[in-house]
Amino acid sequence: MEHIPVIRLGEFLLVTIQVDIHDRLALKLREDLSTAIVQDQVRGVVIEVSSLETLDTFIARVLSEIAATSKLLGAETVIVGMRPAVALTLVELGMTLDAVKTAADVDRGVDWLRSRRTGREP
């Protein structure tokens, strides 16, 4: 069951990460996501990470790369649901994910993506 689904959610895509991401799965996710962005012509991607109890430099890099790839394809990425402990770890590791937008939950992430389209902050 090594597969992270990319879910179409109206005009956005949603990915919830629940499993340990290893190298091959990360590549597959980035590929699936890129294909879906182009195919469905979406403008935004929400990545939900509330299941992740730890987030190491590898996953942080994967998320950054997904955001950068999506941006090149015309979609903004927002990471939502990060646990406080995970945020603390990331800061300690010096990875503040500056290039990636974060939000508290999916609803707020979608609000932010909508505001980007209309050019108005929520």
Residues near a second copy (CB under 8 A): 1, 3-5, 7-10, 14, 16, 18-20, 48, 50-53, 81, 105-107
- In the complex with a second copy, the residue whose CB is nearer, 55 or 67, is 55
As given in the structure block, the two tokens for residue 33 are: 């996501």
- In the complex with a second copy, the residue whose CB is nearer, 20 or 92, is 20
Query: Nearest distance from residue 51's CB to a second copy, in Å?
Result: 5
- In the complex with a second copy, the residue whose CB is nearer, 3 or 68, is 3
Query: Nearest distance from residue 101's CB to a second copy, in Å?
Result: 18
Query: Nearest distance from residue 48's CB to a second copy, in Å?
Result: 6
Q: What is the DSSP string of 18-55?
A: -S---HHHHHHHHHHHHHHHHHHT-SEEEEE-TT-S--
Q: List, edge to edge, every strand of the sheet that includes 7-9.
A: 7-9, 12-16, 44-48, 76-80, 101-103
